[in-house]
Structure formats: C-alpha cells, structure tokens
Amino acid sequence: MNLKRVISIASLLVLACFARGVQAQDDQHGWTGDELLTRGAGRLAEVFRTLHPVESWSNDRYSLRVLGSGLGGLHGSGPTVIVDGLPMPFYLFDRSMLEFIPVTPQEIDSVSFSTDRTILPLGIDADGIIRISTKRPFGWALNSSIGLINETGDPGPAIHQDTTLTNVDRSGPVTNTTLSYRTDSWFAQIGLNTDLYHLTDQEISGRQWLVFGAERQPVVTVFAPSARFVIDKNRVQLTSAGGLIRKKDHQFLEIAGWEWPNRQEWTWVKGEGSLSLSENVTAGMRWSLDDISIVNRDSKIELPGKIDIQDLRGESYVSFRLPAIAIEFAGGYQLHKLHQEGLAPVLDEKTRFGRVSAQMGSGNTTWKNVAQLSSGRSSSLQVTSLLTRVIKRGGRIRIKAGYSSGTREHLNSTLGLVSRGITFADLARDLRYEGNAIDSRELELGLFAVFEMSETSELWLELHMRNMAGLTIPDRIISQPFGIGPLLPQTNWSSGKTGWVFSRGLGLVDRSLPFTTTRLSYQFYHVSSEGDTVFWRHFTGYPRHRLNGSVTIQAPERISIFALASVASKWVWPEYQAPARRVRPASIDIEMTVSKGLFASRMHMAFSFLNLLDRDLGNHPAGVFEQFAMRIKLSTRLTSVNHAR
C-alpha cells in the first residue's frame, strides 16, 4: 500500500473524530408505490422509463439501459438496483438486466434514486443507486398480474401489396405472481416472473435471415422463479433471496452490431445476516453467488462457444454506532471463474478487498465517506465523500466528491470478458483485446439542492461533473446500415482516453392540488473530450436537452390518470456512419395511463397509451422504431389481513 492511499484512509478517520450526531439524507429523488402503480406497468423497465430525471434509453420498448445521472456515458453500467437492502446488479455485456430483478411493479412500496458513484457492500462499484423497497403485508398475500402490449403497425391488407412489410406485434403476456407470509419476526415469499416479446421490424428481420439462413421471428422469453426469506428479531436480522432465471434471448450486442441468439441460465443467491452484539455494535456477513451459463441456439453462422461464469463474493463486517459517528469495517473475498468451451482452461481470479465506511454528523450536517482497497489480478483504491446539510428554513444541500484510481474493471463487461480470452466466432470475429489492464482515474464532484417553497412543493437543482483519465474504451466506426454480414463493425479498444462529462438538472415537484402530483424536470448533458475523438465518440450522443413533465391524479375509489410528456433534443450516434440513421431528430413522446381499483382495490386494471402522438421513435441506429401502442395490465392482490401493520 503506498503512502498516498494510507493518507487517504487515515484522513477519513481523523476527520470523523470532529463530527457529532448522525442524520441520513441520502437519496435525491423519490416516488411512492401508489404513485408508480398509476403507470400501469407490467415490467420494471416500464416503471423506470417514467422516473424522470433518471436518464435511460433503449433500442426497443421492453428492455432498458438506465444511465442515472448520465455521467457514465451512453454505454455506462448505470445505477445499481438495491431491493430491500440487497444489491441486484445482474450485469452482463455492459448492461444491467432489469428483467432479472425479482420485483413486480405492483409490490413496490417506494423507489428512490441517488446519483452518487459509490462502493456498496460486497465491493460492488455502483454508478448511482436505485433503491426499491417492497410491500410486506402481514399474514398471507397473493399478488398476480398480467400485461399485454399491442404495438401498432401491422400491415393489414397491405401485406399483399408490399411483401416486405412485417407484423410488429411485440409483447405479451408478461406475468408476475408472488405468494408471501409474514409474522412479527419473519417473512417468506415465493415468486414467478415470466415475459415474452418479439422485435420484428424490417431491419431486424434482415439480420435474422443472415444469422439463421431462414425467416425466424426473434421471440424472447423469460422464466424466473425466485424466493425470499427474512428474519427480523431483536438481535438477529437475516435477509436472503435466490432464484433461477432462464432467458431465451436474441441479445443485441452493441459491440457486434447484431443479435446473438442464445439461452441464458442465471442462478443467484444474495443475502445478509447480522447480530447485534450490544446497543452500538453489530457484526455480520454478506454473501452473493451468481452462476451464469450462456449457450447458443441453432443458427447458420458459427456462434461463440458455451460460456460459464461463476462469481462468489463474501464479506464480514463490524459496525459501531456512536453519538457522533457510525463506522463500519468490512473485509471480503471474491472468487471469479470463467470458462469458454473450446478455449483455454478455467480462469480463476481471486480478489481481496477491505472497506471502511464512516458516517458522521453535527446538527444539520451529515458527512458520509467510503474508502475501499482491492487487490487481486490488479489493485484499486476508491474513495467517495458525501456532505449533506439541511437548510434551516426548509430544504437541504448535499455536496459530493468522489475519487478512484487503479484498475476498476467489471469482470462481466464485454471488455472484461474479451480481455480474458472470450471470443465471439462469426458473431464478432474481430473482437479482441491484447492489452493489459490499465489504471484509470476518476474524479467526480456534485451539488444537489432542494428548496422547499411550501409544504407541498419543492424545487431542486443538481450539478454533476466527472473527469475520467486513462480509460480503456471501444474505438470503432460502423459504416454499414446496421452491422450485417461480412462487414461487421471492427472494434479495437483504445487506452489512455480522457474527458469530462457534465450533467445538470432543474426540477419541480408539486402536490398542492388535491390527489395530484406534478413533476417537471429539465436536464442538460454535455461531454467535453478536449480533442480526444475516441472518448467523444463513445460518450457523446445522448440528447443534450431533455424536458419532462408528468402529472399523476390519484383519488381513492376514483379513476387514476398518469400522463408523461418527454421532449428531447436530437440524438447523435457518432460511431455510426451513413447510411445508418446516425441522427435521431428532436422528439416528443407522450404516454398516458388510465387505471382503476376494483373490488375494494383487490384488483387493479390499467390501460396505457404509449407514444400517443404516433411518431416513429427510434433511438438506436440498429434498433426498432417504437410505434403507438396500447398496454393493458390487470393485477390482483389478496391478503388474509386487511391492513399492513
């Protein structure tokens, strides 16, 4: 450990001694479960799409890349979702799979979002956090829902005039079912989520033909049973969840430029157990196991050999809560195994990490710091600091600073896998990275302020900036319409890239009208590469200006209405060249949902109108155009006890 690292950690601990009183004011934006129920969403991705100012995008209507503040760029890992205290990243090939998170929209109790880059338990590097808490009613509870989306654009009789036209009905049913039981001291739940959708526009059909040598509809299905168990006693607390996910996918790989027909099987277990040793001292353990297997479906072209990934993490911690400070020391171990059929033997990587988290406060001020050191194949240091001050006359200000250095790579990212020898055969034959892991540095500063204008309305302002240096990022130019055939995009990774990303926002939340919540947000996103064209091509493109406005009207026993209008300036994909559609013009997207509780709110029915203005919305050069669509969602909730205590 070098001197700089020792000083960094020591300074955190010394500063802790000056603090008094602890107060948590962590997350910047929040929504209640009842407010989110009015979205009529069948999938978590459909809920997250409506959470402005959380930035997100997708190349189809059913999956979603959540960017959070956007500081990680258009291809960043985005915020980590934490469900009832357990981080659930489900990160693979540069995307967090929201569809794998075992939460159904109707069981959400609240959602909150914080933009901070931080280090979570088990050494998880999070570029922001979306925190979900779920309802846990006492006694028996049975939740179920079914949702369908009918996207417009079927050819109708015109199919006999133009045979290139294809059907575009793309979704359904998506179903969620949970059965739970809760007493004063424990809670148990089993659940099953299923999904089905397909993307069948003309460009995708062309790519399907090249992969399969025949006409094939790219149907995607998900089957995901899960279970959860919680013990909550005076001194002992235990939360554990696990599940199995089977997905038949036509996975669009940005790096390859087309879909990979595969079957993914993901077995997971996550948990935390703690024991209160005294009033102020708690000791515990956290664990996480992910076992991922990816096999190919039949195809004409040669696809990558079967990939197996096992990731096991565990840590022990002890935390002290004193009047002036809460501090936690944690130490853990990560074992990562990777193997591809037909290639070198199993690759084992072992990483040890130690972490200190300190939260201290004085009166209205809270200061939270986390420092983590990791050592394994490579080593890294991460330090984040967050200062929050509550303003006397309503509102609060939080200032954050974060620094990280070393090799901080995600093992399940495309670069992480390719740099360890994974190859993609005909799917992306030129995808190789011969370099070594390279240290990068990152500095982030941010300000978030909330001004309470009255008891029912508040104005918020946020300014974030991140400086990145020494990055290793893809360097590519795609000069085909959508990356097909022998002209696949050629990707090289380029190291030592440097640049800035800025994200600024201004917004209003108002609840002054009865049963009505109004939210307005404006965001300005900006990339400064200082002449580094690779950095610029990879990070820019997201609309610079985004304006969102939403209204939720929700009176008991009445019809609820949710309407959202999103205006975005033009969107540029500089890695793609004409004739690909590299620029999406400025757009307006309006969605509206009408919903009603039935049978004393035991049943809930929602009709949604998506892309109400019937515009061709196509975010990605190789993605689909989202057309006007209708969604119907029906959910039921039966409980043996009438009210949640």
Q: Which residues bind other proteins (CB under 8 A)?
A: 150, 152-161, 165, 168, 614, 627-628, 630
At 418, give phi and psi (nearest 5°).
Answer: -65, -40
Smallest distance, Å, CB 194 to other proteins?
23
Smallest distance, Å, CB 599 to other proteins?
11
> Of all helices (H) and strands (E), which one includes residue 4?
helix 3-16
Smallest distance, Å, CB 622 to other proteins?
19
Residue 460 is encoded by which pair of tokens? Answer: 């918020």
Is residue 229 within 8 Å of 238, Cβ to Cβ?
Answer: yes
Smallest distance, Å, CB 168 to other proteins?
7
Smallest distance, Å, CB 365 to other proteins?
53
Smallest distance, Å, CB 577 to other proteins?
27
Residue 27 is encoded by which pair of tokens? Answer: 């997350």
Residue with Cβ nearer other proteins (162 or 530): 162
Residue with Cβ nearer other proteins (159 or 236): 159
Find, among 65, 70, 118, 67, the residue nearest to 92 by Cα: 65
> Nearest 5 degrees, angle CA 357-CA 100-CA 541?
80
Residue with Cβ nearer other proteins (164 or 278): 164
> Of all helices (H) and strands (E), which one includes residue 315?
strand 307-321
d(CA 525, CA 107): 33
Pairing of β 80-83 and β 124-134: parallel
Q: What is the DSSP code (8-state) at residue 617?
A: B
Which residues share a beta bridge with 471? 497
Smallest distance, Å, CB 616 to other proteins?
10
Residue with Cβ nearer other proteins (159 or 641): 159
Smallest distance, Å, CB 211 to other proteins?
22
Is residue 132 within 8 Å of 47, Cβ to Cβ?
Answer: no
Is residue 489 within 8 Å of 462, Cβ to Cβ?
Answer: no
Residue with Cβ nearer other proteins (3 or 158): 158
> Of all helices (H) and strands (E), which one includes residue 223?
strand 219-232
Smallest distance, Å, CB 630 to other proteins?
6
Distances (CA, A) of 346 to 336, 339, 340, 586: 10, 5, 8, 48
Residue 502 is encoded by which pair of tokens? Answer: 């800025």
d(CA 554, CA 38): 8
Coil/strand/helix, residue 416: helix
In total, the chain counts a number of residues equal to 645
Distances (CA, A) of 219 to 207, 390, 392, 524: 14, 51, 56, 37
Smallest distance, Å, CB 165 to other proteins?
6
d(CA 63, CA 414): 18
Residue with Cβ nearer other proteins (2 or 161): 161
Smallest distance, Å, CB 154 to other proteins?
5
Residue with Cβ nearer other proteins (153 or 507): 153
Residue 372 is encoded by which pair of tokens? Answer: 């983590």
Residue with Cβ nearer other proteins (348 or 614): 614
Distances (CA, A) of 49 to 64, 455, 514, 593: 8, 28, 25, 14
d(CA 120, CA 373): 13
Residue partners of 207: CB distance under 8 A and separation at least 6: 258, 259, 482, 484, 622
Smallest distance, Å, CB 575 to other proteins?
29
Strands of 29-32's sheet, edge to edge? 29-32, 108-120, 124-134, 80-83, 86-87
Conformational region of residue 346, where left means phi above 0, alpha means psi within -120 to 50, and beta covers everything else = beta
Residue with Cβ nearer other proteins (168 or 338): 168
Residue with Cβ nearer other proteins (148 or 390): 148
Residue with Cβ nearer other proteins (434 or 599): 599
Smallest distance, Å, CB 156 to other proteins?
4
Is residue 19 within 8 Å of 325, Cβ to Cβ?
Answer: yes
Pairing of β 396-406 and β 440-452: antiparallel
Residue with Cβ nearer other proteins (155 or 470): 155
Smallest distance, Å, CB 629 to other proteins?
8
Residue with Cβ nearer other proteins (152 or 185): 152
Residue with Cβ nearer other proteins (156 or 486): 156
